[in-house]
Amino acid sequence: MEFIDPALLDYCEKHTSEEDALLQKITRETRAKVLMPRMISGHLQGKMLEIFTKMLNPKTILEIGTYTGYSGICMARGLSKDGKLITLDINDELEKMVRGFFEESGLADQIDYRLGNALEIIPELPGPFDLVFIDADKFNYDKYFDLVIDKVSPGGIIMADNVLWSGKILVEGGKKIDKDTQAILDFNSKIQEDPRVENILLPIRDGVMMARKI
Ligand code: SAH
Ligand code: CA
Protein backbone atom coordinates (compact mmCIF):
# COMPACT_ATOMS: atom_id res chain seq x y z
CA MET A 1 0.00 0.00 0.00
CA GLU A 2 1.31 3.48 -0.90
CA PHE A 3 0.51 5.82 2.00
CA ILE A 4 1.23 8.96 0.06
CA ASP A 5 0.68 9.91 -3.55
CA PRO A 6 3.93 9.16 -5.45
CA ALA A 7 3.97 12.71 -6.86
CA LEU A 8 3.79 14.13 -3.32
CA LEU A 9 6.48 11.74 -2.15
CA ASP A 10 8.68 12.86 -5.02
CA TYR A 11 8.06 16.49 -4.02
CA CYS A 12 8.97 15.68 -0.39
CA GLU A 13 12.21 14.02 -1.49
CA LYS A 14 13.07 17.00 -3.68
CA HIS A 15 12.68 19.24 -0.65
CA THR A 16 14.73 17.08 1.71
CA SER A 17 18.50 17.61 1.89
CA GLU A 18 20.18 15.30 -0.58
CA GLU A 19 21.68 11.97 0.38
CA ASP A 20 25.45 12.28 0.44
CA ALA A 21 27.77 10.10 -1.66
CA LEU A 22 28.20 7.45 1.06
CA LEU A 23 24.49 6.94 1.65
CA GLN A 24 23.94 6.76 -2.13
CA LYS A 25 26.66 4.13 -2.34
CA ILE A 26 25.15 2.08 0.49
CA THR A 27 21.79 2.17 -1.28
CA ARG A 28 23.37 1.16 -4.61
CA GLU A 29 25.39 -1.70 -3.14
CA THR A 30 22.48 -2.93 -1.04
CA ARG A 31 20.29 -3.09 -4.16
CA ALA A 32 23.00 -4.82 -6.17
CA LYS A 33 24.33 -7.34 -3.66
CA VAL A 34 21.99 -7.88 -0.72
CA LEU A 35 18.77 -9.79 -0.23
CA MET A 36 15.59 -7.82 0.48
CA PRO A 37 16.93 -4.31 -0.36
CA ARG A 38 13.49 -2.95 0.46
CA MET A 39 14.49 -3.08 4.12
CA ILE A 40 16.92 -0.18 3.83
CA SER A 41 15.77 3.09 5.41
CA GLY A 42 16.27 5.34 2.38
CA HIS A 43 16.40 9.06 1.78
CA LEU A 44 13.39 10.49 3.67
CA GLN A 45 13.50 8.19 6.65
CA GLY A 46 17.28 8.45 6.88
CA LYS A 47 17.19 12.24 6.96
CA MET A 48 14.41 12.11 9.54
CA LEU A 49 16.54 9.85 11.75
CA GLU A 50 19.55 12.09 11.26
CA ILE A 51 17.75 15.31 12.15
CA PHE A 52 15.87 13.76 15.09
CA THR A 53 19.15 12.44 16.44
CA LYS A 54 20.84 15.80 15.98
CA MET A 55 17.97 17.39 17.96
CA LEU A 56 18.38 14.85 20.77
CA ASN A 57 22.21 14.82 20.65
CA PRO A 58 22.33 11.48 22.51
CA LYS A 59 25.26 9.99 24.38
CA THR A 60 24.18 6.41 23.74
CA ILE A 61 22.04 4.99 20.95
CA LEU A 62 21.00 1.37 20.63
CA GLU A 63 19.97 0.15 17.18
CA ILE A 64 18.35 -3.27 16.87
CA GLY A 65 18.74 -4.37 13.23
CA THR A 66 21.79 -2.87 11.47
CA TYR A 67 21.26 -4.45 8.01
CA THR A 68 23.64 -2.55 5.67
CA GLY A 69 24.26 0.32 8.09
CA TYR A 70 22.22 3.09 6.45
CA SER A 71 20.05 4.02 9.44
CA GLY A 72 22.95 3.52 11.85
CA ILE A 73 25.15 6.01 10.00
CA CYS A 74 22.29 8.53 9.84
CA MET A 75 21.83 8.30 13.62
CA ALA A 76 25.56 8.22 14.44
CA ARG A 77 25.83 11.63 12.75
CA GLY A 78 23.75 13.09 15.58
CA LEU A 79 25.71 11.55 18.46
CA SER A 80 27.26 13.85 21.02
CA LYS A 81 31.04 14.24 20.71
CA ASP A 82 31.94 11.33 22.97
CA GLY A 83 28.72 9.42 22.25
CA LYS A 84 28.34 5.83 21.09
CA LEU A 85 26.03 3.89 18.79
CA ILE A 86 25.64 0.22 19.63
CA THR A 87 24.13 -1.55 16.64
CA LEU A 88 23.09 -5.21 16.61
CA ASP A 89 22.44 -7.69 13.83
CA ILE A 90 22.13 -11.44 13.67
CA ASN A 91 23.27 -11.64 10.02
CA ASP A 92 27.06 -12.01 9.93
CA GLU A 93 27.14 -12.34 6.12
CA LEU A 94 27.00 -8.56 5.79
CA GLU A 95 29.75 -7.88 8.32
CA LYS A 96 32.61 -7.03 5.98
CA MET A 97 30.53 -4.72 3.82
CA VAL A 98 28.98 -2.96 6.82
CA ARG A 99 32.30 -2.46 8.63
CA GLY A 100 33.63 -0.92 5.40
CA PHE A 101 30.72 1.56 5.29
CA PHE A 102 31.24 2.45 8.97
CA GLU A 103 34.93 3.13 8.24
CA GLU A 104 33.99 5.34 5.29
CA SER A 105 31.56 7.29 7.46
CA GLY A 106 34.45 8.49 9.62
CA LEU A 107 32.44 7.47 12.69
CA ALA A 108 33.69 3.90 13.14
CA ASP A 109 35.28 4.69 16.50
CA GLN A 110 31.87 5.74 17.81
CA ILE A 111 30.07 2.68 16.42
CA ASP A 112 30.01 -0.58 18.36
CA TYR A 113 28.69 -3.11 15.81
CA ARG A 114 27.88 -6.46 17.39
CA LEU A 115 26.78 -9.61 15.65
CA GLY A 116 24.41 -11.99 17.35
CA ASN A 117 20.85 -12.35 18.51
CA ALA A 118 19.63 -9.05 19.94
CA LEU A 119 17.45 -10.95 22.41
CA GLU A 120 20.61 -12.36 23.96
CA ILE A 121 22.84 -9.28 23.63
CA ILE A 122 20.50 -6.60 25.05
CA PRO A 123 20.32 -8.11 28.58
CA GLU A 124 24.13 -7.81 28.75
CA LEU A 125 24.12 -4.09 27.86
CA PRO A 126 24.14 -1.78 30.86
CA GLY A 127 22.49 1.30 29.30
CA PRO A 128 21.36 3.97 29.83
CA PHE A 129 20.20 4.59 26.27
CA ASP A 130 19.03 8.03 25.14
CA LEU A 131 17.68 6.68 21.85
CA VAL A 132 16.66 3.18 20.78
CA PHE A 133 15.73 2.27 17.20
CA ILE A 134 13.89 -1.03 16.97
CA ASP A 135 14.05 -2.36 13.39
CA ALA A 136 14.78 -6.12 13.56
CA ASP A 137 12.35 -9.06 13.33
CA LYS A 138 8.82 -7.78 13.82
CA PHE A 139 7.76 -10.83 15.84
CA ASN A 140 10.00 -9.75 18.74
CA TYR A 141 9.23 -5.99 18.85
CA ASP A 142 7.32 -6.48 22.07
CA LYS A 143 10.25 -8.29 23.70
CA TYR A 144 12.74 -5.66 22.52
CA PHE A 145 10.61 -2.96 24.14
CA ASP A 146 10.46 -4.91 27.42
CA LEU A 147 14.21 -5.50 27.36
CA VAL A 148 15.10 -1.84 26.84
CA ILE A 149 12.47 0.22 28.65
CA ASP A 150 14.14 0.16 32.08
CA LYS A 151 17.47 1.09 30.49
CA VAL A 152 16.13 4.15 28.64
CA SER A 153 16.95 7.51 30.25
CA PRO A 154 14.05 9.71 31.35
CA GLY A 155 13.11 11.79 28.30
CA GLY A 156 14.79 9.19 26.09
CA ILE A 157 13.17 8.05 22.85
CA ILE A 158 12.30 4.61 21.55
CA MET A 159 11.50 4.48 17.83
CA ALA A 160 10.12 1.38 16.16
CA ASP A 161 10.03 1.09 12.37
CA ASN A 162 7.48 -0.52 10.02
CA VAL A 163 4.59 -0.27 12.48
CA LEU A 164 2.04 0.24 9.67
CA TRP A 165 3.38 -2.93 8.03
CA SER A 166 2.47 -1.90 4.45
CA GLY A 167 -1.07 -1.21 5.66
CA LYS A 168 -1.67 -4.77 6.83
CA ILE A 169 -2.51 -3.47 10.32
CA LEU A 170 -5.91 -2.49 8.88
CA VAL A 171 -7.30 -5.98 9.14
CA GLU A 172 -10.33 -6.71 7.01
CA GLY A 173 -13.10 -8.62 8.81
CA GLY A 174 -12.87 -12.39 8.37
CA LYS A 175 -9.34 -12.31 6.98
CA LYS A 176 -6.69 -14.41 8.67
CA ILE A 177 -3.99 -12.37 10.41
CA ASP A 178 -0.40 -13.59 9.91
CA LYS A 179 1.90 -13.73 12.91
CA ASP A 180 4.05 -10.72 12.06
CA THR A 181 0.99 -8.54 11.50
CA GLN A 182 -0.44 -9.73 14.82
CA ALA A 183 2.87 -8.94 16.54
CA ILE A 184 2.82 -5.38 15.15
CA LEU A 185 -0.83 -4.91 16.18
CA ASP A 186 0.01 -6.10 19.72
CA PHE A 187 3.10 -3.88 19.86
CA ASN A 188 1.20 -0.75 18.80
CA SER A 189 -1.56 -1.40 21.38
CA LYS A 190 0.98 -2.08 24.08
CA ILE A 191 2.76 1.24 23.47
CA GLN A 192 -0.54 3.09 23.33
CA GLU A 193 -1.52 1.66 26.75
CA ASP A 194 1.85 1.93 28.51
CA PRO A 195 1.77 4.82 31.02
CA ARG A 196 5.58 4.97 31.10
CA VAL A 197 5.70 6.58 27.65
CA GLU A 198 4.00 9.26 25.58
CA ASN A 199 3.87 8.30 21.94
CA ILE A 200 3.10 9.32 18.38
CA LEU A 201 2.72 7.05 15.38
CA LEU A 202 4.25 8.94 12.47
CA PRO A 203 2.89 7.90 9.05
CA ILE A 204 6.33 8.27 7.47
CA ARG A 205 7.31 5.61 4.94
CA ASP A 206 6.12 2.33 6.55
CA GLY A 207 5.16 3.99 9.86
CA VAL A 208 7.40 4.89 12.78
CA MET A 209 6.24 4.63 16.40
CA MET A 210 8.00 7.23 18.48
CA ALA A 211 7.67 6.76 22.23
CA ARG A 212 9.23 9.15 24.77
CA LYS A 213 9.91 7.81 28.22
CA ILE A 214 8.28 10.04 30.80
N1 SAH B 1 17.84 -0.56 10.21
C2 SAH B 1 18.15 -0.94 8.85
C3 SAH B 1 17.26 -2.06 8.35
C4 SAH B 1 17.16 -3.26 9.26
S5 SAH B 1 16.49 -4.69 8.42
C6 SAH B 1 17.94 0.26 7.94
O7 SAH B 1 17.00 1.02 8.19
O8 SAH B 1 18.68 0.46 6.97
C9 SAH B 1 16.28 -5.82 9.72
C10 SAH B 1 17.57 -6.45 10.24
O11 SAH B 1 17.26 -7.11 11.47
C12 SAH B 1 18.15 -7.53 9.30
O13 SAH B 1 19.46 -7.16 8.91
C14 SAH B 1 18.17 -8.79 10.17
O15 SAH B 1 19.33 -9.60 10.00
C16 SAH B 1 18.12 -8.22 11.60
N17 SAH B 1 17.59 -9.15 12.62
C18 SAH B 1 16.53 -9.99 12.50
N19 SAH B 1 16.36 -10.69 13.65
C20 SAH B 1 17.34 -10.29 14.51
C21 SAH B 1 17.71 -10.65 15.84
N22 SAH B 1 17.02 -11.55 16.53
N23 SAH B 1 18.78 -10.03 16.40
C24 SAH B 1 19.48 -9.10 15.70
N25 SAH B 1 19.17 -8.72 14.45
C26 SAH B 1 18.12 -9.30 13.85
CA1 CA C 1 12.80 -0.94 8.73
What pTM does this model have?
0.97
* Nearest bound ligand to the CA of residue 163: 2
79 Cβ below 6 A of ligand 1: no
pLDDT per residue over 87-142, tens digit each?
A: 999 999 999 999 999 999 999 999 999 999 999 999 999 999 999 999 999 999 99
Question: Who surrounds ion ligand 2 at CB < 5 A?
Answer: 135, 161-162
* Ligand 1 atom at minimum distance from 70 CA: 8
Report residue 174's pLDDT band, with 50, 70 and 90 as the boundaries.
confident
Q: Is 141 left (phi over 0), alpha (psi -120 to 50) or beta?
A: alpha
191/200 Cα distance (integer angstroms): 10
CATH number 3.40.50.150 is the correct assignment for the domain at 6-24+40-213: yes
Task: Give the DSSP H/E element, type plus range, for residue 73.
Answer: helix 70-76
22/43 Cα distance (integer angstroms): 12
End-to-end CA distance of the chain: 33
pLDDT per residue over 83-97, tens digit each?
A: 999 999 999 999 999
